[in-house]
Amino acid sequence: MSGLLTETFLAALLSGAVVAAVPLILAGLGEQMSERAGVLNIGLEGMILGGAYAGFAAAVGGWGIWGGFAAGILAGMALAMIMVVFCVRLGINQIIVGIAITLGVTGVTALLHNVYFARTYPRLPAPEKWAIPGLSQIPLIGPGLFDHHLMTYAALLAPFVLMWLYKGSFLGLNLSAAGEKPEALDAAGIDVTRTRTTGALFAGAMAGLGGAYLSEIGSGIFVPAMSHGSGFIAIVLAMLARHRPVWVMGGALLFGLCLSAATALQVGGVEIPTDFIQMLPFAMVMAVLIAFGRKARLPAALGTPYRRGQR
Amino acid sequence: MTYETEIRADPATGPAQPLVALEGVTKRFPGVVANDAVTLEFHPGEVHALLGENGAGKSTLISMLAGVQQPDEGRILIEGVPTKITSPKHALSLGIGTVYQHRMLVPTLTVAENLQMGAPWYRRPDRAAIREKFAESCRAFGIDIDIDRVVGELSLGEQQQVEIIRALWRGGKLLVLDEPTAMLSPAGVRELGRMMGRMRDAGVSIIFITHHLSEAVEFGNRVSVLRSGRVAGAMSADEVAALTPEATRARIVDLMFGAGVEGDTKIERRARRDHGERAFEVVGLSGKSQKGDTGFSDVTFHVQEGEIFGVAGVDGNGQTPLAEAIAGQIPCQGDVLLEGRALGRADVAKRYRLGLRYATDDRLGEGTVASLPISLNMVLKQIGRPPYWRGGVQRDALIDAHAESLFEEFDVRAPSIHTPIGKLSGGNIQKVLLARELSGAAKVVVYNKPTHGLDLKNIETTRRRIRDGADNGIATVLISTDLEEILSLSDRIGVMVRGRMVGVVPNGPDARKRVGAMMAGESEE
Amino acid sequence: MSEMTEAPRVAAAPRLPGWAKPLAFALLPVLAALLAGALVLWALGSDPLNYYTYVVERGLLRTRGLQASIVHMIPLLILGTALIVSFRAGLWNLGIDGQYILGTLTAGVVAPKLVAVMPVVPALFLAMLAGAAVGALWALPPALLRAKHGINEVISGLMMSFMATSLAAAIIKLWAKDPASLEPQTSTIPVEQRLPLLPGTDINLGIVIALVVTIAAHLAISRTSAGLKLRILGLNPAAATHAGLPAPRMIVLVLCLSGAIGGFAGAVELTGVLGKMQASWNPAYGFAVVPLVFLARMNGWAMIAFVFAFSVLSIGGASAAVRLGVPQSFTMVLVGFLLLFLALAEWIDQTRREQA
């Protein structure tokens, strides 16, 4: 064991944890906003995957890494539009539409992959890292935390930006009202449909961006179904974090650490099954639910369509 | 009716122009005329008390003023200009602020956040300003609430004060208060009255909607009575000012309960009769609804065989949880006795079998399962019991035969007994519900607002059922907010106010006055 | 899920025969989905007609394909039943994959030992029961959380499911590994000691078990008092209280029953097809079955039809993946389209009725 606890190993572990956490942070923050507004986006998994494909294809096609991020955001928002039209506007069941989106995107991206990449398996070059001068020299956490692609820093800053936005503007207030008591928001003269649309589209954009990060930075390749359930984990993170963006990041980093540790230990050839480590975050969520279960509550109007004058 | 006189009021004497006026406003919903040619006016610096029972059309009236719904006929004038109020936002911009009966605050947000709501998302909330403005309003209206508390933790009265302040800020000219006293304690009501007075003095026009006559007399400068969607009568500000409170009260009682005109002569009281054994007793029963926060405490009464015991009272004074406790749906303290035997903790099915039945007022919400056929809804409280089930297996032939015979007996109009009950009209759903509760060995039946929301024909049918049932020996408890109904059916009448049974009177010529007085808040010595 | 109401036994459509409207409402979305799928194929440079005929030929018309399709139905049918039981009660047991995995593992551990000491039939039967018991146990925490604290069973179910996947792998690696194998997997049940094949086919007895379970559950839900109570809980919880049904106790019972059936599905597949549990085994059937159950509107008979169609599509699609180069994931696209169009059809139907 002692051989494992080298500085390089731990730094790689930390660095891997951050990279694994970023898609969860982004998608989780998006879902948080959507849920807060009353739209449960079960299609998040599909939006991540859609973003992953679009981002990768764009980057391979010569748009560059940032072009890929833009493509990922667009793909996610396009998918979220389905959610908006079907669920927010028409009031069709959110769970059914969400599952349909996830299924459809999983299939379509696999098909596209098959047509364009299955023979060549293109790989993107390792992302350009930007080491923060000074900080990255700190032993252990320097290379672990402060030597990443710019988007990684952006993702780590995103919760704070959102926190500032929620606190410093009417955004959080309007979203909460749309999710808790839409008729109150409507009576206050704010359009509930538009507020919910904003939340749903933001979730799509963030999931798409997270997906693009996953394929462009995380792995450098696109593999069908590469999101591996991270959409669902992001949903759970958002539900548990409630209104607190920083909690989403905390939870995501914890997941990331477990994922990274599992990989690292495998590489290190350790005997303990890494599966136990992979189980850890889920077990923790269950423990939290059991311990603080009474307090865990979802927005009152989550999943229910709003129509004026209907009680 | 009041149309002519009110609109053509002499501009020289009355306030020159009403702030808001309704002219012949009519609103229809499928099967109901909620508002029928309603004409009213609201002046600045005046509290206009609007009295009426549930279903009198007050909510519809408010929703039209608040821009949630538009009138089918007639028009709304704002400062003399005919105006279409197209949305809640528009109503606010016209100066009309509304405080609804059901809370319109977001319970998970703080007072400050709720007060600020209504700005586009990109704006920056000005916390210092709101704090100052709130403090100012608190001073002006004598309120003491911490602006940083989460609304869900405030008392109902405090929540309402927050809502009133918010409505005032947003609207400012006309403040609509929809039954603001319904959930308040007596102290809360007094406080509200003071607050309204101060706002009136500041020049605000207030619409004060209430069931309570005494409150209308105490707080209103002008009083109008709504009945079945029409203005049944109005007292102008001059009239109110000229009369003593007692005279005002007497006049309003006449308007509300229609004494003389279409009142007592029209009521056919149930013939007096001798009743049998004491069949049903409730002793010191207390409990609380699981849905809302209304409850009832220390209720005691008894009903004899063949007797109809009316429970009068304004809606939401604990009648429904009382009925639910009797039916065994919610936990309670105290005793329920059926033919002298305490029922203890017997569940719904057991009570049903023993003959204690409850016909709920929430017919589609809890009384029936909309997508199940009529036949199964008829045996909803006997699931798994013989003869309809044997060894857990459903016996369709028996269930169908049972349903078929009740179908005939209760004259249910539907394509067949297999039609999902949700497709039936309200009247037919009620027939199925009554069939279920009256079939078999019904000994005691509790009816909760049995004719609420029905059309005239079905109201008649239902009342006849209730009367016939009692004539056949059923001890009957009739909960209703419709005083006419109580007076025409009951032998004795208990009145519920704020969860307590404040008095019981025998039905008779003076019952209307005595019950009305108790409902208005005067306790029967 | 409020729009998921029970199909009325008597349709009220005037003049048209009673079955015409439901049939049209089932078929139109299917046609639309096939058409949309064809567009996708065409856009990606495949010949849709060629693909569809190939799939049907390989999955349905050829004897071997048909048999493979039928074998593929076994776990899907039982899992679908598990979902119907919980969905009908208005409970969303999305932890189904975890219950399946642990049921499979339990049977994989127990069955080889049992067949060594007793006759095959009781041994496999016991293994299935054990699988069901573990499935029920795994559903218990979400059930209790829902019944006691009202915590959404979807989140806790998914958590339990993710945990189960890792837990099963860990158990195999640590304690249940077949020493004779290099791969982390349980001991293999000898082929002759697995569920017997139906005479003259490659189809094992599991299909009979699956059909019996599906139909029995359907009858129980629609014909017994327990089933009616379950439906009332799902259709109108307030009416359940009004009729005096013990809602919290029922929630626990229903979720555990659903979990038991989920675990049972794994055990049946293990004793019939797999023969051993591999640490990496996680077919995520739940994701395929949930939409099928929605499409079937939680009706057992319709579910059998949809599962059959899906199996044909999967088996035929697997061959097509090899031959035509269209990946199997295309079936997911079709199911996704189907769900969307079905939801849309239901919405149109509802709006039309409201306006009428």
pLDDT digits 0-9 by tens, B59-103: 888 889 988 888 999 999 998 899 999 888 888 889 998 888 777
Pick the more confident residue, A136 or A245: A245
* Alpha carbons B232 and B238: distance in angstroms, whole number: 19
- Chain C residues close to B415, C-beta within 8 Å: 10, 12
* Alpha carbons B326 and B79: distance in angstroms, whole number: 52
Between C8, C223, C236, which is nearest B394 by CB?
A: C223
CA dihedral over A226, A229, A235, A240, signed as positive or negative: negative
At B339, give phi and psi (nearest 5°). 50, 45
CA C182 to chain centre: 32
Q: Is the pLDDT of residue C67 over 90?
A: yes
* C335 lies in some domain: no
Inter-chain contact C152–A298, Cβ cutoff 8 Å?
A: yes
Q: Is C294 on the interface with A (CB under 8 A)?
A: yes
What is the distance in angstroms between the Cα of C212 and the nearest Cα belonging to chain B?
Answer: 18
Pick from C250, C341, C329: which is nearest to C295 by CA? C341
Pick the more confident residue, B241 or C194: C194
Q: What is the third-level CATH fold of B267-355+441-525? A: Rossmann fold (3.40.50)
Structure tokens belonging to residue B138: 């608190």
- According to CATH, where is 3.40.50.300 located in chain B? 2-257, 267-355+441-525
Inter-chain contact B120–A183, Cβ cutoff 8 Å?
A: no
Residue C165 and residue C260 in contact, taking contact as beta carbons nearer than 8 Å: no
Structure tokens belonging to residue A229: 């359930």
Q: Which amino acid, C208? A: V
* Arithmetic mean of pLDDT over chain C: 89
- Chain B residues close to C224, C-beta within 8 Å: 389, 392-394
Q: For chain C, positions 60-99, list CB contacts with chain A under 8 A.
A: 92
Element spanning B13, H or E: none
Picking from A42, A93, A255 by the largest number of C CB atoms within 10 A of its own CB, the best residue to mutate is A93
Confidence category of residue B55, pLDDT binned at 50, 70, 90: low
Between C12, C225, C243, which is nearest B381 by CB?
A: C243
Q: Is the pLDDT of residue C18 over 50?
A: yes
Between B370, B371, B383, which is nearest C243 by CB?
A: B383
pLDDT number for residue A281: 80
Q: Is the pLDDT of residue C5 over 90?
A: no
What is the distance in angstroms between the Cα of B456 and the nearest Cα belonging to chain C?
Answer: 24
* Alpha carbons A36 and A30: distance in angstroms, whole number: 10
Inter-chain contact B348–C242, Cβ cutoff 8 Å?
A: yes
Between A169, A189, A308, which is nearest B123 by CB?
A: A169
Q: Is B152 on the interface with A (CB under 8 A)?
A: no
Inter-chain contact B349–C9, Cβ cutoff 8 Å?
A: no
Residue C16's Cβ-count burial label (10 Å; 0-12, 13-18, 19+) is exposed
Confidence category of residue C111, pLDDT binned at 50, 70, 90: very high
In this structure, of A140-154, B3-17, C192-206, the range with the lowest mean pLDDT score is B3-17
What is the distance in angstroms between the Cα of B170 and the nearest Cα belonging to chain C?
Answer: 35
CA-nearest residue to C343 within chain A is A92
CA dihedral of A154, A157, A162, A167, whole degrees rounded to 10: -150
* Alpha carbons B412 and B406: distance in angstroms, whole number: 8
Q: Is the pLDDT of residue C205 over 60?
A: yes
Please give the C-alpha separations between residue B427 and each of B31, B304, C238, in angstroms, as whole numbers. 11, 29, 21
* C16 lies in some domain: no
* A126 lies in some domain: no
pLDDT in tens, A27-61: 999 999 999 999 989 899 999 999 999 999 999 99
Q: Is the pLDDT of residue B257 over 80?
A: no
* C20 lies in some domain: no
What is the distance in angstroms between the Cα of B393 and the nearest Cα belonging to chain C?
Answer: 4
* Arithmetic mean of pLDDT over chain B: 84
Count Cα neighbours of A218 within 13 Å in the Cβ-side half-sphere. Answer: 27
* Alpha carbons B399 and B494: distance in angstroms, whole number: 38
* C50 lies in some domain: no
CA B478 to chain centre: 15
* C177 lies in some domain: yes
pLDDT in tens, B398-438: 999 999 999 999 999 889 999 999 888 888 999 999 999 99
pLDDT in tens, C112-160: 999 999 999 999 999 999 999 999 999 999 999 999 888 888 878 988 9
| CA geometry: angle B324, B330, B332, nearest 5 deg | 100
Confidence category of residue A309, pLDDT binned at 50, 70, 90: low
Q: What is the mean predicted confidence (pLDDT) over B516-524?
A: 65
- Chain C residues close to B347, C-beta within 8 Å: 244
Q: Is the pLDDT of residue A273 over 50?
A: yes
Residue B193 and residue B200 in contact, taking contact as beta carbons nearer than 8 Å: no
pLDDT number for residue C17: 64
- Chain A residues close to B87, C-beta within 8 Å: 189
* Alpha carbons B496 and C201: distance in angstroms, whole number: 75
* Alpha carbons A145 and A11: distance in angstroms, whole number: 8
pLDDT number for residue C227: 95
| Chains touching C (3+ CB pairs < 8 Å) | A, B
Structure tokens belonging to residue B130: 């709101």
Structure tokens belonging to residue B350: 């057991």
Residue A248 and residue A237 in contact, taking contact as beta carbons nearer than 8 Å: yes
- Chain B residues close to C231, C-beta within 8 Å: 369, 372
Q: What is the mean predicted confidence (pLDDT) over B243-256?
A: 75
CA dihedral of C173, C174, C176, C180, whole degrees rounded to 10: 60
Inter-chain contact B348–C243, Cβ cutoff 8 Å?
A: yes
Confidence category of residue B292, pLDDT binned at 50, 70, 90: low
* C338 lies in some domain: no
CA-nearest residue to C246 within chain B is B347
Cis ω before B387 (30° cut-off from 0): yes
Structure tokens belonging to residue A185: 């928001």
In this structure, of A91-105, B159-173, C260-274, the range with the lowest mean pLDDT score is B159-173
Q: Is the pLDDT of residue A263 over 80?
A: no
Inter-chain contact A180–B98, Cβ cutoff 8 Å?
A: no
* A82 lies in some domain: yes
* Beta pairing class for B475-479 and B295-304: unpaired
Q: What is the mean predicted confidence (pLDDT) over B427-456?
A: 90
Q: Is C236 on the interface with B (CB under 8 A)?
A: yes
- Indicate the length of chain B as a whole number: 525
- For residue C227, what are the domain limits? 71-281
Picking from B70, B106, B151 by the largest number of A CB atoms within 10 A of its own CB, the best residue to mutate is B106
Inter-chain contact C236–B360, Cβ cutoff 8 Å?
A: no
pLDDT in tens, C208-243: 999 999 999 999 999 999 999 999 999 998 899 999
pLDDT number for residue B453: 73
Please compute Rg for chain C using Cα positions. Answer: 21
Please compute Rg for chain B using Cα positions. Answer: 25
First to last CA, chain B: 39
pLDDT number for residue B159: 85
Chains B, C: CB contacts within 8 A come to 85
- Chain B residues close to C243, C-beta within 8 Å: 348-349, 380-381, 383
* C253 lies in some domain: yes
Pick from C67, C13, C113: which is nearest to C315 by CA? C67
Pick the more confident residue, C314 or B186: C314
All residues at 6 or more sequence positions from B66 whose CB lies less than 8 Å from its CB, including other chains: A187, B85, B88, B91, B96, B98, B176
B304: three-class secondary structure by DSSP: strand
pLDDT number for residue B521: 63
Q: Is C129 on the interface with A (CB under 8 A)?
A: no
Inter-chain contact B352–C244, Cβ cutoff 8 Å?
A: yes
Between C145, C279, C347, which is nearest A289 by CB?
A: C145
Q: Is the pLDDT of residue C107 over 90?
A: yes
Confidence category of residue B229, pLDDT binned at 50, 70, 90: confident
| CA geometry: angle C301, C303, C305, nearest 5 deg | 75
Inter-chain contact A170–B68, Cβ cutoff 8 Å?
A: no
- Chain A residues close to C158, C-beta within 8 Å: 232, 236
Element spanning B108, H or E: none
Q: Is the pLDDT of residue B349 over 70?
A: yes
Q: Is the pLDDT of residue C21 over 60?
A: yes
Phi-psi region of B340 (alpha: psi -120 to 50; beta: other; left: phi over 0): left
Q: Residue A112: which CATH number?
A: 1.10.3470
In DSSP terms, B28 is beta-bridged to B33
CA C209 to chain centre: 14
- Chain C residues close to A113, C-beta within 8 Å: 327
All residues at 6 or more sequence positions from C175 whose CB lies less than 8 Å from its CB, including other chains: none
Q: Is C232 on the interface with B (CB under 8 A)?
A: yes
CA-nearest residue to C326 within chain A is A111
Q: Is C173 on the interface with A (CB under 8 A)?
A: yes
- Chain C residues close to A82, C-beta within 8 Å: 340
* Alpha carbons C267 and C288: distance in angstroms, whole number: 19
Burial C145-157 (b: 16+ CB within 10 A, else e): bbbeeebbbbbbb
CA-nearest residue to C334 within chain A is A104
Q: Is the pLDDT of residue A282 over 90?
A: no
DSSP labels, B163-188? HHHHHHHHT-SEEEESSTTTT--HHH
At A304, give phi and psi (nearest 5°). -105, 130
CB atoms within 10 A of CB B254: 16
* A151 lies in some domain: no
Confidence category of residue A4, pLDDT binned at 50, 70, 90: low
- For residue A232, what are the domain limits? 2-121+160-295
Inter-chain contact C12–B423, Cβ cutoff 8 Å?
A: yes
* Alpha carbons B222 and B239: distance in angstroms, whole number: 8
Contacts of A125-134 with C-beta under 8 Å, sequence gap 24+, read A125/A220, A126/A220, A127/A65, A127/A216, A127/A217, A127/A220, A128/A65
Inter-chain contact B419–C8, Cβ cutoff 8 Å?
A: yes
- Chain C residues close to A103, C-beta within 8 Å: 287, 291, 332-333, 335-336, 339
- Chain B residues close to C238, C-beta within 8 Å: 362, 365-366
pLDDT number for residue A128: 84
Query: How many domains are there within chain A?
Result: 1
- Quote the DSSP letter at residue B420: B
Question: What percent of chain B clears pLDDT 70, i.e. is strictly above it?
Answer: 89
Structure tokens belonging to residue B361: 């007022």
Confidence category of residue B264, pLDDT binned at 50, 70, 90: very low
* Alpha carbons A292 and A241: distance in angstroms, whole number: 13
Inter-chain contact C156–A273, Cβ cutoff 8 Å?
A: no
Q: Classify domain B2-257 at the CATH superfamily level.
A: P-loop containing nucleotide triphosphate hydrolases (3.40.50.300)
CA-nearest residue to A190 within chain B is B118
All residues at 6 or more sequence positions from B5 whose CB lies less than 8 Å from its CB, including other chains: none
Inter-chain contact C340–A239, Cβ cutoff 8 Å?
A: no
